[in-house]
C-alpha cells in the first residue's frame, strides 16, 4: 500500500503520534493566543505583552530549576525556599552592605548554589528520599531566613536594579532574554556535556548508571547545586522585576509553577528525560493563561482552578498520545 492510498485518518494519526510532545504543546499555546486576543484586544497590547514577557522569564527559570532535579529522578520542594533566601541575601548585600551590583548578584547566586549543594549533600549522605529532605530543608531555609531578616523587606536597593527589570532589547524584556540565555546554556549542558548525559543516565536507571561507572553521588549533588543556582537566578530576576527584595515572594508560591512548566513540557517525573524547550513552552502556556484570565477580568481567583485542570488534562493527553504511538507501532502500551 503506497502512502497516498492510506486513509486520511491513519495519516493524521501518524502525524500526531510521531510529532514531539513539545509540538502539541506549541499548538495549544497558539490556540490560547488566538482565543485570548480575539476575546480581549488588550491581550496583544504592548503593555500586556511586556508584563507577560517579564513574568515568563521568571517562570521559565523557576521551571528549569525543578527540571534539572527531575532529570535525575528526584525532586526539589525547596526551590521556592532557596529562591526567597536568595532574594533576601541579594537585598542584604545591596542595601545593608552596599556592595556593587555585580558582586551582590554573584553573592546571591553563590548563596543559592550553596543551599542547593546542601540539599544534594544531605540526600547522598543519608540516602533519604529527596522529597523528604527538600521538604525539611524548605522549612529550615525559610525559617532561617525569617529568623535572620525578621521578615523586613529591603526597599532601598539601587534603582538600577528596577531599571534593568524594566529595560529591554528590540522590544523583548531583559528578564526574558536572561531566561532564554539560561535555557540555551542548559540545552548545551544536557545535549553535549558529560555531566548532562550522566545526569540523565542516573535518572533513567540509577543502578545501571552506577555500574557503568557514573559517580552517581557526585551527579546528584551537582544537579541539586545547579537547581539552587537556577532558583537564585530566578530570585535575582524577581528582585529586578519588583525593584525590592521582599520575604513574601517565593516560598510555597513557586511550588506549583516549578512543576507545571517541566511536566507540561514533557519532562518525566521518573527521571531520565528532560526537555529545555518543553519547559520553556510549559512556562509560556502557564503565563499565557494567567495573563489571559487577567485581561478577561476573570481574575486571579479562578486561575488556580484552571491551572490544576490544565495540568491534569495535559498529562492525560500526553499519556493517550504516547499509548497511541506505541499501538500504531504494533506494540502493546
Partner 1 sequence: MRRALSQLLTVEWSGILVAVLAGAVALAIASPPFLTEFNLFVFLRSVCVTLLVAYAQMVTLGVGQLNLAVGALGGLVAIIVGGLMDRLGVPVILAVPAGLAVGGLAGFLNGWLTVRTGINGFIVTLATASAFTGINLGITHSIPFYNLPAGFVGFGAGRIGIFPYLLIVPLIVTGLLALFFARTVPGRQLLAVGGNPNAAQLSGVSPSRAVIVAHVLSGLLSAAAAILAVAQLGSAQPTIGSDWLIISFAAPIIGGASLTGGHISIFGTLLAVLLVALIQNGMVLVKVDPYWVQFLLGALILAAVWVNRFRAVRLGTD
The site for partner 1 (CB under 8 A) is made up of 75, 122, 126-129, 131-133, 135-144, 146-147, 150-151, 252, 255-256, 259, 263, 269-270, 300-309, 311-312, 315-316, 319
φ, ψ of residue 167 in degrees (nearest 5): -75, 170
Q: Write down the least CB distance from residue 132 to partner 1, Å.
A: 6
What is the sign, positive or negative, of the torsion defined by CA atoms of 155, 157, 160, 163? negative
CA distances from 148 to 196, 238, 247, 282 (A): 36, 21, 11, 35
Q: Write down the least CB distance from residue 45 to partner 1, Å.
A: 26
Q: Write down the least CB distance from residue 3 to partner 1, Å.
A: 34
Name the residue nearer to partner 1 (CB basis): 146 or 277: 146
Q: Write down the least CB distance from residue 21 to partner 1, Å.
A: 15
| Contact criterion met (CB below 8 Å) for 253 and 81 | no
Q: Write down the least CB distance from residue 256 to partner 1, Å.
A: 6
Helices (H), 42-172: 46-70, 79-91, 101-126, 130-149, 159-166
Name the residue nearer to partner 1 (CB basis): 103 or 269: 269
Name the residue nearer to partner 1 (CB basis): 34 or 252: 252
Buried (b) or exposed (e) across 187-196, using 16+ Cβ within 10 A? bebbeeeeeb
Give the span between the Cα atoms of 112 and 1, in whole angstroms: 59
Name the residue nearer to partner 1 (CB basis): 53 or 73: 73
Give the span between the Cα atoms of 217 and 206, in whole angstroms: 10
Name the residue nearer to partner 1 (CB basis): 110 or 289: 289
- Nearest partner of 119 among 107, 105, 136, judged by Cα: 136
Q: Write down the least CB distance from residue 182 to partner 1, Å.
A: 24
Name the residue nearer to partner 1 (CB basis): 134 or 225: 134
Amino acid at each position: 500500500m503506497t502512502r497516498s492510498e492510506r486513509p486520511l485518518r491513519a495519516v493524521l494519526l501518524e502525524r500526531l503520534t510521531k510529532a514531539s510532545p513539545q509540538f502539541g504543546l506549541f499548538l495549544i499555546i497558539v490556540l490560547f493566543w488566538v482565543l485570548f486576543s480575539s476575546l480581549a484586544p488588550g491581550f496583544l497590547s504592548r503593555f500586556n505583552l511586556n508584563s507577560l514577557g517579564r513574568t515568563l522569564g521568571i517562570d521559565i527559570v523557576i521551571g528549569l530549576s525543578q527540571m534539572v532535579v527531575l532529570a535525575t529522578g528526584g525532586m526539589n520542594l525547596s526551590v521556592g525556599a532557596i529562591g526567597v533566601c536568595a532574594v533576601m541575601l541579594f537585598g542584604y548585600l545591596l542595601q545593608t552592605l552596599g556592595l556593587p551590583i555585580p558582586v551582590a548578584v554573584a553573592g546571591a547566586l553563590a548563596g543559592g548554589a550553596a543551599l542547593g549543594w546542601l540539599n544534594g549533600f544531605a540526600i547522598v549522605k543519608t540516602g533519604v528520599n529527596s522529597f523528604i529532605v527538600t521538604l525539611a530543608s524548605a522549612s529550615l531555609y525559610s525559617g532561617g531566613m525569617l529568623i535572620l531578616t525578621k521578615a523586613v523587606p529591603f526597599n532601598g536597593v539601587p534603582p538600577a536594579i528596577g531599571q534593568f527589570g524594566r529595560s529591554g532589547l528590540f522590544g523583548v524584556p531583559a528578564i526574558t532574554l536572561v531566561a532564554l540565555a539560561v535555557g540555551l546554556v542548559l540545552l548545551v549542558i544536557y545535549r553535549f556535556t558529560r555531566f548532562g548525559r550522566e545526569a540523565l543516565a542516573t535518572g533513567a536507571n540509577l543502578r545501571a548508571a552506577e555500574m557503568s561507572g557514573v559517580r552517581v553521588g557526585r551527579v546528584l549533588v551537582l544537579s541539586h547545586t545547579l537547581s539552587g543556582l537556577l532558583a537564585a537566578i530566578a530570585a535575582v530576576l524577581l528582585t529586578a522585576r519588583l525593584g525590592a527584595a521582599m520575604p513574601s515572594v517565593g516560598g510555597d508560591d513557586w511550588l506549583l509553577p516549578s512543576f507545571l512548566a517541566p511536566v507540561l513540557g514533557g519532562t518525566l517525573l521518573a527521571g531520565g528525560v528532560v526537555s529545555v524547550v518543553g519547559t520553556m513552552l510549559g512556562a509560556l502556556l502557564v503565563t499565557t493563561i494567567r495573563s489571559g484570565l487577567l485581561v478577561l477580568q476573570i481574575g486571579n481567583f479562578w486561575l488556580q482552578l484552571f491551572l490544576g485542570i490544565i495540568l491534569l488534562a495535559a498529562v492525560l493527553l500526553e499519556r493517550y498520545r504516547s499509548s497511541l504511538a506505541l499501538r500504531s507501532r504494533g506494540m502493546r502500551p
